[in-house]
Chain A
Amino acid sequence: MTTIERAHLEVSGLTKRYGGLVAVKEMSLSVAAGTILGLIGPNGSGKSTVMKLIMGIERPDGGSVRINGVEVCGWPSHRIARMGAGIVFQHSRPLHRQTVLENIKLALLPDKLTRLFADPQTDERARAIAARVGLTGVLDRRPGTLPFADLRKIEIAKAIARDPQVLLIDEPFAGLTAKETAAFSDLICELRDDGRAVLLVDHNVKSVSRLVDRIIAMYVGERIAEGSADEVMRNETVRRVYLGGTIETAARPESSFRDAATPFLEVDKVSVHYGKAQALEQVSIHVHEREFVAVVGLNGAGKTTLFNTISGLLPYAGDIRRQGATLRGQSAAAIARGGIVQCPEGRELFTDMTVRENLDLGGQHLPQDESDSQIEWLFELFPILRERQRQAAGTLSGGEQQMLTIARALMMKPKLLMLDEPTLGLAPVILEQISKALERLRQTTPITVLLAEQNVTFALPHADRVYVLEHARVVWEGDPAKFATEGGAGYL
């Protein structure tokens, strides 16, 4: 029991619901002083929510959060911060008009309205913190002029300014190069050696395995495994969530498609930057007509960016061709009208409109009778939507909303349908229904599908070909049957 007594952070029975969706269910964890706990899970598993609940950014519906033995569950975040918790956000949001030094000083200020002049020691302390995280050379620069890694360092500097005993870090290495990652890892280890309790939240075991003492894996709001990095990697449930159990594949060979010479869609050495972070690096993929191609990768790998780029929503270097003709210069609307339709990850339904109205809107450009027959066909594909026709889209369950999103995209009669993470946050039984609908599409229609997924179990049975996207690059391409042996390594 000694570890429990020394635990700086103890969470038990933590629960969070958003409407009918249970985002976090009865979550328990504890982090002892001077140790690092990794909290991993695929996108939508609720790991970031757990972190926000601990920090008081979201209000828990139940459970207990203790920091150094004090119950803080339900407190506002500024009081939890003062109890000794600090958080490093994934996205850096510094004050842009202030220098790096001033940004760090901000974190050192007391929460008082009467303090019109900063303590004389503030400057000294800010400089010491900057030296520790490696920002000394850029103290007088504005954040906007700094490389991405330095912006992350500012976030760390701010978080440790109040000397937190519990440090929560969201996706510590997202967007960093290998060298920067190594430096960042060293820094995190140092912070642990100070005797802090560190919680690292990330997507997979691999990224944090070298740092952590223990790992907890989450899926759909619940804990599915706990143990050392090795134990979690060997865990059956974890393997099933990340890699799928026995995957049956039904790939059609690439040579069977008629347009082998000039594929329907060619993405040729495309690179995209978000400010300073590289989101896509020399990515090349192609999709034949009637082919089902899956792009698998973890959150942040660049899947959504790739889709948005194809849809004409982002500036890029390289070329994207549809049946040999470049798409560059075409507006997003023109690309969609040309038959390349994206089904966004966020669903983006009109939540106040009924199911039927959402579908009618998707079929706006079709003649009335054609629109009606298309809706009829979609109701056969997704029978539940027929029952729900008169219901407001916002009141549907997550799975039903996903079906409606796909159905609405199909109303546009796309030649190429891009599905972005249709399984995000859905229960397995719903996955099966969507899976069946996709299979019917594949068997009975001439539609071409490009599917982005981190759930490999879902993606592989439908795919004719698979690309693995990792850190903005395509790292593997091939037959889904070979994925588990070739591409799957390093995916965990």
Chain B
Amino acid sequence: MQIPTARLLLIGLGVVVLASFLPLWASGYVLGLLILAYYFGVFAMAWDLLFGFAGEVNFGPTFLIGVGAYTAGILDNLYQPPIWLCIAAGTAAAITGGLVLALPALRVRGPYFGLTTLVAVLMLQNFIVVDAHLTGGEIGLTVPDVISISDTTNYLIALWFMAISGAILFSLSRSPVGLILQASGQDAVQAGALGFNVTKHKIAAFIISAFFSGLAGSLMVFYLGSASVGTFIDVTVGVQIIISAVLGGRRTILGAVLGAIFLIAMSEALRPLGDLSNFIVFSMALVVVLLYPNGFFGLLTRTREDA
């Protein structure tokens, strides 16, 4: 049996409340890592909604994130409006990006759509490198403002942002709309024959995914105080997001957060190994994907079922 939505949300709330007390004893270094992990968690959850539920293989999650982050960052850099305005603009830009991305998805299927998403990332990356006076190019964009310089504040913002995003996305995935999305993703013909407008639902999924990706990207810019291709857009970043979602458990939304925290914690723990660390982390991810295709979350819920 599936664990009831309300109970899972309650468990989640408990964990988040406990995690809110972490700044009392954890070092700024650990908090910094966790902040990144939380934003990554939101990226991965937004990706899971699009792939796990709507069935659209988006190989370029960083396109939506990057459009959001850079829009917010450039706006702040040029005109210094209030930060919330930059964040709103970044989110809006990501939604526009999501709609643009949705157009090919409605025409081509499977691997071809995946390819268009990859190309979108490369185009964005190219644009940023070429248009250096606006974007900071390869060196990166320095953003004059940050939300806060306090680790604790930044940590709490990231934590609760992730918690609220997770609650919304998770509830959505278990709602009637989530069910229709899943049906559309798995068998569009049958969903149509049952009277569901598949196109409408898929576009909605793109918009929602873009909203959370863009919002998280914009927030992260104002935490880091900078934006660079290496942190927001590079294909490797996209792959890490996808691995987080798959490690945590596809089609579970919440699992994506577990995957993101695991991935960032492992890279950090293995940092002394230098370049070898990435190799080990990716190998571990490969093993998990091959042996436990349902991911951490699948593993957790299965043991509960057996018990």
Contact = CB atoms under 8 A, between A and B. Distances in A.
A81 B179 contact: no
B interface: dominant SS: helix
Interface in B249-271: 251
Contacts of A117: 175-176
A113 interface: yes
Interface in B204-262: 204, 251
Interface string A79-106: 0011000110100010101110010011
Nearest to A82: B195
Interface in A41-89: 55-57, 76-78, 81-82, 86-87, 89
A213 to B, nearest CB: 24
Nearest to B185: A95
A162 B195 CA distance: 9
Interface residues of A, number: 32
Given A113-B177, A115-B177, A116-B175, A95 B183 contact: yes
Interface of B: 1-2, 171-172, 175-177, 179-180, 182-183, 186-187, 189-198, 200-201, 204, 251
Given A77-B193, A106-B179, 16 more contacts: A55-B193, A57-B192, A57-B193, A78-B191, A81-B193, A82-B195, A86-B193, A97-B182, A98-B179, A99-B1, A107-B194, A111-B195, A113-B201, A116-B176, A117-B175, A162-B195
A39 to B, nearest CB: 17
Given A93-B187, A113-B204, A140-B1, A106 B180 contact: yes
A98 B53 CA distance: 13
B155 to A, nearest CB: 30
Contacts, number: 79
A87 B196 contact: no
Nearest to A52: B189
A98 B182 CA distance: 10
B200 A56 contact: no
Nearest to B187: A93
Nearest to A98: B179
Most chain B CB neighbours (cut-off 10 Å) among A76, A89, A99, A113: A113
B192 A78 contact: yes
Contacts of B171: 116
Nearest to B207: A113
A182 interface: no
A107 B193 CA distance: 10
Nearest to B182: A95
Interface string A138-182: 001000000000000000001001100000000000000000000
Contacts of B186: 93, 95
A78 B197 contact: yes
Contact of A78 (B172, B177, B196, B251): B196
Interface of A: 55-57, 76-78, 81-82, 86-87, 89, 93, 95, 97-99, 102, 105-107, 109-111, 113, 115-118, 140, 158, 161-162
Nearest to A109: B176
Nearest to A56: B192
A261 to B, nearest CB: 49
A113 B189 contact: no
B249 to A, nearest CB: 11
Contact of A116 (B177, B183, B251): B177
B179 A76 contact: no
Contacts of B204: 113
B148 to A, nearest CB: 33
B9 to A, nearest CB: 14
B180 A109 contact: yes
**3 smallest beta-carbon distances between A and B, as pairs:** A81-B195, A77-B192, A116-B175
A158 B194 contact: yes
A35 B186 CA distance: 33
B298 to A, nearest CB: 10
Contacts of B175: 115-117
